[in-house]
Amino acid sequence: MSEPEELQQPDIHTTAGKLADLQRRIEEATHAGSARAVEKQHAKGKLTARERIELLLDEASFVELDEFARHRSTNFGLDQNRPYGDGVVTGYGTVDGRPVAVFSQDFTVFGGALGEVYGQKIVKVMDFALKTGCPVIGINDSGGARIQEGVASLGAYGEIFRRNTHASGVIPQISLVVGPCAGGAVYSPAITDFTVMVDQTSHMFITGPDVIKTVTGEDVGFEELGGARTHNATSGVAHHMAGDEKDAIEYVKQLLSYLPSNNLSEAPVFAEEADLEITDEDRELDGIVPDSANQPYDMHAVIEHILDDAEFFETQPLYAPNIVTGFGRVEGHPVGIVANQPMQFAGCLDITASEKAARFVRTCDAFNVPVITFVDVPGFLPGVDQEHEGIIRRGAKLIYAYAEATVPLITIITRKAFGGAYDVMGSKHLGADLNLAWPTAQIAVMGAQGAVNILHRRTIAEAEANGEDLEAVRARLIQEYEDALLNPYVAAERGYVDAVIMPSDTRCHVVRGLRQLRTKRESLPPKKHGNIPL
């Protein structure tokens, strides 16, 4: 009696049989995870590794690599289960017609646990991306190291970290965390340029809740410890919190549109010559800064007035909200935006804001994206905690980032620019190419209240001793200080500001400035590498 048709093996001694055998193996590799595992994945609201790639890449553009790779381990019965692909799908394709490389961890195979061959596949596709100069996107959904393979798994992680480091600043690296990412696995996304997580689905931590409970006695859940909201709002590890996986993938596709394929190329341009006539919309900026220096306004409104179609693609909106970072376009050319946000802590710089902005400026500089900086900063946030946690060293990172940047740098001071924070926020002294100020700008060592207390301590004491009206005396001294120093013109006299402009003229100045700076060439002193105060 003949075998049922589905159990019959093709005759691999014939050409037709060999072709049929290949098709069988492809089918097996495509469905490496069991139907039950796929069902459980979908029940959690998660997509499979291949479904994610299908959503990310242009239709029919994916070319798989190492489809038939399998682990070689014989420990703990692993030799009885050797699925094709070994738990990760790797290859290349296109996003909006632009080449990218991708790896997607498959939680339906060994829980996505990383072994030796699995790691080799990721390393291989990363090397391929480096050689061809295309972005690499890692889709992370893994339980961690494959314990059965022992130190080979740890070695594979190390090889991946080294590739992440070598690729840093050469090709864009984007991490999608769409499930667990624990232990040593977290360091690969940490090195990459951007990390996107999914609310209530993604988790990243070095040690999980159970280990923490055992070692320290702390009782903490997955979400509080390493959920998407934690890493977007508290730790700063992630750059975007998506509502679901489709939202996360769309964010990555949009992000890629602002970045070049590599450090030797330019980002995609949708050229559209700007109309330099002042519009009613431009004139809205003339009234955006309140009369009172203590009254806030939303810097997003300023940013959107400058960008094409008022489209601003923000990064890390939940982290350090006192500084705003993100991408936009001017005349179709991508630009990076850094801006103090008066709505949060009056726009003060603190540790988290300094590091957030420094990281973003360095990313833009690495990938040839001009940086536009909007300044309204009363200084660094005072406090014992800030000092003890290293605001001096960590704030210096932002100085370093601006000073080493060679991309076009345009800075607009809208209101306050006090003390060291003035220097730090893309000042002329750090190498900015064009520094503009609005008439509302106040560029000085400090604000009027603090300055009067120091400069006129004796005058105030004498007035008090003589029984004079202290409030009237202070008001007069403050007015004198404001008239003399709290303006943009002292800085303009010294060339620290290239022009004092009407707010409504800002878009035109930015457009003209960027046109001129497209041919900017600047070289820094040769060195092995700098020693940024990490």
Using a CB cutoff of 8 Å and minimum separation of 24, what contacts does 13-20 make? none
Cβ–Cβ under 8 Å, residues 179 and 112? yes
Average pLDDT over residues 80-102: 90
CA distance linking residue 76 with residue 404, whole number of Å: 52
Catalytic residue among 111, 150, 419, 420: 420
pLDDT in tens, 197-250: 999 999 999 998 999 999 999 999 999 999 999 999 999 999 999 999 999 999
d(CA 371, CA 432): 9
pLDDT at position 2 is 43
Q: What is the pLDDT of residue 81?
A: 67
Q: Which residue has the tokens 């726009």?
A: 347
- Cβ neighbours of residue 439 under 8 Å, at least 6 residues apart? 487, 488, 500, 502
CA atoms within 13 A of residue 99's CA, in its CB half-sphere: 14
Which of 185, 421, 444, 491 is catalytic? The answer is: 421
Mean pLDDT of 290-313: 96
Residue 184 a catalytic site member: yes
What is the pLDDT at residue 511?
A: 98
Instruction: Judge whether 31-256 and 280-446+486-517 match in fold.
Output: yes
Q: Domain-by-domain residue ranges, the chain?
A: 31-256, 280-446+486-517, 448-485
Residue type, 492: A
pLDDT for 497 equals 98
pLDDT, one tens digit per residue, over 161-181 is: 999 999 999 999 999 999 999
For residues 358-385, average pLDDT:
97
CB 352 within 8 A of CB 316: no
Q: Per the residue annotation, which of 133, 184, 236, 431 is the catalytic one? A: 184
Q: What is the pTM of this model?
A: 0.93
- CATH match of 31-256 with 2.40.160.10: no
Closest CA to 186 of 168, 203, 204, 173: 204
Known catalytic residue: 421? yes
Across the range 288-297, mean pLDDT stands at 94
* Model confidence band, residue 83 (pLDDT cutoffs 50, 70, 90): confident
d(CA 324, CA 338): 6
Using only the alpha carbons of the chain, give its radius of gyration: 28
pLDDT: which is higher, 352 or 149: 352
> pLDDT value at position 5?
46
Q: Indicate the class that CATH gives domain 280-446+486-517.
A: alpha beta
Asked about 236 being catalytic, the answer comes back as no
- pLDDT surpasses 50 at 3: no
Give residue-wise pLDDT tens across range 458-496.
888 887 777 777 778 788 888 888 888 889 999 999 999
Convert the pLDDT of each residue in 411-422 to its tens digit: 999 999 999 999
Q: Dump pLDDT digits (tens) for 396-454.
A: 999 999 999 999 999 999 999 999 999 999 999 999 999 999 999 999 998 877 888 88
Crossing angle of helices 299-306 and 506-517, rounded to 10°: 60
List the catalytic residue out of 183, 326, 379, 447: 183
